[in-house]
Structure 1
Amino acid sequence: MKKVLFVINTLGQAGAEKALLELMKHFSPDEYEVSLYVLLGQGELIHDLPRYVKVLNKDYSDASVLSGKGKKILKQRVFRRLFQKGALLKNFPGILCALAGGLRRKKLGIDKLLWRVMSDSAWYPDEHYDLAVAYIEGGAAYYVHDHVRADKKMTFLHVDYRQAGYTRQLDQDCYIDYDKIFTVSSEVSRSFLSVYPECKGKTEVFHNLIDQEEIRRKAMLPGGFSDIYDGFRILTVGRLTSQKAYEIAVDAMYKVKNAGVRARWYVLGEGELRNSLQAQIDGLGLQDDFILLGTAANPYPYYRQCDLYVHATRFEGKSLAIQEAKTLGCAVLVSNCSGNREQVTDGVDGAMCALSAEAVSQKIIDLLSDNEKRHQYGERAAVSRINNDVDIRKVFELQSEKG
C-alpha cells in the first residue's frame, strides 16, 4: 500500500479545490493510503472528499473561507498561528525584504507574505510518504518542501505566477527541489519558467480535472434563478477579488442598461470585495440589474438557465468556471488575458474582448442581440470533450519511478 499526502491551503468552493477532489478520486483505496492536510484547516468542501481520504487536521472548521462567519474564523486562526513555533520571528527578516520588493513593484499581496509563517507554524507529520503533493502555490508548496518527508514530491501551479505576485524571494527557491511541477495551462507554464528557467525539464501542463457527466447531471437538479424575470440573464461565477475585475463588470452593466438592453447580471461568489462592489452597484442605481447572489452548493442549474456566461478577469491560470460553462453549452464571453486565451477560440466556441467597461458592454450588447451566434457558440462549446486520462497518467508515472 503506497502512502500519498496531498496538501492545500484551504478547501473552499474554488476551482483548484474542486479539481483536487477530482484528482483524489483516481487513487484507488485498494492501492493507496491517501491523506490530506489543509494548511489553514478550513473549508466547506471537506464534506465532498472521497470517504477513504484521511484528513490529518485535528482542528478543522467547515465554514466557508469567503462567508462573514468563515472570514472571522480564518482571521482568528491566522492570528493565533503568528505566535506559534516562533514562525513570525523566524520569517520576519524575509517578510520585510519581500514587503520592500512588493512596494517597489507596486504589487503586494499580504497573504503571500504570510504563507511562509503559516507553513512554519503548522503541525508537521511524522509519517514518511511515497508521494507528497502540494496542490497549490504559496503555503502548500512551502509546507511540502520544508516539512514533509517523501520519496517523491510534486507541486501544482494554478495561477499566472508573475501576475499573481509570486517571486523567487518569497519562495526561497523551493521549486528547484521538486521532482515535478505541474501547471494548469501553457501560459501558466511560460510565466513560471520565465522566473525559474532551470525548472523547464520537470515542468509539464496538467489540466484541471472535471467530471463533465456529473456536471451535466447536477445541472438538471432543482435550483438556479428564483426571481421572476423575462429579460436576458448574464452569469459570472468566481470569488469577489481584485483578480476577477468585478468593478469593470459593474460599469459595463451600467452601459448595457443605458443602451436599453433588458438584462440582469448575476454573480455567484463571495469575497472581501463584496461591500465595496455593493456600494458601487448602489451608487450606479443597479440594485435590480447587477446582483451578488453569494455562493451556491450546486451552481450548475444557473449555468444551464443563463443566456450568456461572462468571465472578464485580469488574469487566470485556467478557469474551472469557464470549463463548466462550456460543458453546459453556455455562450461564453471572456476577457483577453492569460488563461482565458487557451480556453476560448474567439468567434468559434465563444467570444473574447479587451478588459474595459466599454469593450465588455459592447460585446455583451452584440451577443444578446444575436440569438443565432450565441446558440452556435454554445453548441460548439458543449461538444468539446475533456480527456483526463493523459494528465492522470503523469501523476502515477512519477510516483512509480524509483527514487
Structure 2
Amino acid sequence: MKKILFVINTLGRGGAETALLELLYTLEGQGEYEISLYVLMGQGELRKRLPDRVRLLNSSFSEDSVLSKKGKYKMVWAVCRAFIRNGHLAGKIRYAERILRDMRKIKQIQPDKILWRVLSDGSERFDETYDLAVAYLEGGSTYYVADHVKAKKKAAFVHIDYESSGYTRQMDRECYQKMDRIFTVSDEVREHFLKIYPQYAKKTEVFHNIINQERIRRFAGKGEGFRDHYDGIRILTVGRLTYQKAFDIAIEAMKLVKDAGYRTRWYVLGEGNDREMLEKQREELGLTGDFLMPGAVANPFPYFKQSDIYVHASRFEGKSIAIQEAQTLGCAIIASDCNGNREQIIDGEDGLLCELTPEKVAEAIIRLIGDKELRHRLGSRSKEKKTEYREDIQKLLKMVNGSEAG
C-alpha cells in the first residue's frame, strides 16, 4: 500500500485547510493509500472533520481555534517548545533575529513568518519513509517536508501571491529545490511565484482547489442562517479578520452606502487578530448595527444562500475558496480587482470587479442594490462556473504511483 504524508501549519477554519480536507476526501475514493497528516502547530478546530482513514501523527492535539484567546495561549507554548525541541537553540535564535532585521528594513514585520522555520526545526520527527510527502502550505510545512521528512517524492503547494505575502528566498533557504513538484492554486499564483523562483518553471504547475459542490449545496439547506429577521438588502463576506481581507476598506465603503440612504446590512463571518481594531473603526463611523461581525460559523452555506450580494474585497489572494463557494450557490459577487480574484471572475459577466477603495466598493454595491435583474443575471452565470476540478487529483496520484519523472 502506497504511503502519503500531508503536512499543514494549522488545522483552523481557513481556506487552505478547507481545501485540504476536500482533497483528502477525494483521495480516499481513488484507491488504497495509507494517508497520514501532521499539523505543525498541533492545533485547529477542523480536526473533527478529518476523513476516518486519515491518520493524525501528532502526539498531542488541541481543537481550540488558533484565533481564540485559549488557542493563542497554546500557540505561544508551541513556539516555546519548538525553540527547545531537537536542539540547535542558538541557531534557531540567530535565524529569527536575521529575518526580523530583514523585515525591519522593509518596515513589514510578520511574526508568523519569523517563526515558521523555528517551528519546523522544533517539530516532531518520524522515521517512516513515505512514497509521497506533500507540504500543503507555504512556510512552516514546506520547510518541514523539505528538511525533516523522508520520502521518495516531495511536493509543495503555494496558495498565495508570493510577491505580496512577505516570503523571501532568505527565509526559504532553498526549500523548493528539494521538491519534485510545486503546485500553485491558480495561474496568477504560478506567475508571481516564478518571479521569485524562475529556475523552477519546469516543475511548477497549477493544481486548483478541490471543492465538493454537492456537499456545499446540501449544507446550504441545513441550519437557520440569518436569525435577525432583517428584510433589507443583505451583504455577506466570509473570511478571517486580517489585513489581507481589507475589512477596514469594507467598513468605510459601508459608511458611504448608508450615507447614500440605502437600507442594507453587511455581515462578516470570520475571526482574526484585527477584530478589536475593526470594532473600534465600526463604532467611530456609527455602523455598530449595520456592519455585523458575529464570528466564524461551522456551516456558513445557508448565509451564502440567503444573501443578496457577496463581497470579497481583499488586498491580494491566491485563489479564494469563499468565492468558489459563493459561485456554487449562485451569489451575485463583487470582488476587488486583485491577483487571484480577477482569475475567478469575469467583470460584468459573472460578477463585478472593482478597485479596492471605499468609493469604488460602495459604487459597485449601490449598483447591485438598485438593479435586481443584474443581481439575478450575475448569480445565474456565477452558478455555471467550473469550480470543482476533481480531476486535478491525478497530478498527485501520478507522483505517488511513479508514473511521473521528478
> Normalising to structure 2: TM-score of the pair?
0.97
Whichever residue aligns with residue 39 of structure 1, its letter is L
Alignment of 1:9 onto 2:34: no
Unaligned runs of 5+ in 1: none
* Deviation, structure 1 residue 86: 3.1
Match of 1:54 in 2: 55
Are 1:109 and 2:110 matched, yes or no? yes
SS of alignment partner, residue 82 of structure 1:
helix
Cα pair 2:81 2:122 within 8 Å, conserved: no
Counterpart Cα distance in 1 of 2:343 and 2:133? 29
1:234–1:307 contact (8 Å) kept in structure 2: yes
Alignment of 1:2-401 (within 5 A): 2-28=2-28, 31-401=32-402
User: Contact 1:4–1:34 at 8 Å: present in 2 too?
Assistant: yes
- CA apart distance, 1:77: 2.1
Change (3 A) 1:92 1:78: closer
CA distance in 2, matches of 1:189, 1:176: 16
What percentage of aligned pairs have identical amino acids?
Answer: 54
For residues 356 and 80 of structure 2, the distance between their equivalents in structure 1, rounded to whole angstroms, comes to 36
Distance 2:365 2:28 in 1: 45
Structure 1 residue 147, shift from structure 2 partner: 0.5
Q: Quote the offset at 1:87 in angstroms.
A: 4.8
- Secondary structure of 2:289's counterpart equals coil
Q: How many pairs are equivalent?
A: 403
The 3-state SS of whatever aligns with 1:227 is coil
Query: 1:205 & 1:2 partners in 2: Cα distance?
Result: 24
- Structure 1 distance, partners of 2:344, 2:385, is 11
> Equivalent residue of 1:270, what SS?
coil
| Whole-Å separation in 1 of the counterparts to 2:358 and 2:52 | 45
8 A Cα contact 1:88 1:117, kept in partner? no
Distance 1:289 1:88, change over 3 A: farther
Give, in angstroms, the shift of residue 283 of structure 1. Answer: 1.1
- Normalised to the residue count of structure 1, the TM-score between the two structures is 0.97
- CA displacement at 1:79 relative to structure 2: 2.8
Q: Deviations over 1:204-256 (max 9, x none)?
A: 01110000111001001122111121111000000001100111101111111
Which whole-Å deviations, capped at 9, do the CAs of 1:121-162 have from their partners, x for residues lacking one?
110011010000000000000000110000000010011111
The alpha-carbon deviation at position 70 of structure 1 amounts to: 1.8
**CA 1:144 to 1:331, structure 2 compared with 1: closer, same or farther past 3 Å?**
same
Q: Distance in 1 between matches of 2:198 and 2:104?
A: 25
Counterpart residue type for residue 85 of structure 1: N
Deviation for aligned residue 1:383: 1.6
Paired with 1:280 and 1:87, the residues of 2 have a C-alpha distance of 44
| Whole-angstrom CA distance in 2 between matches of 1:322 and 1:193 | 25
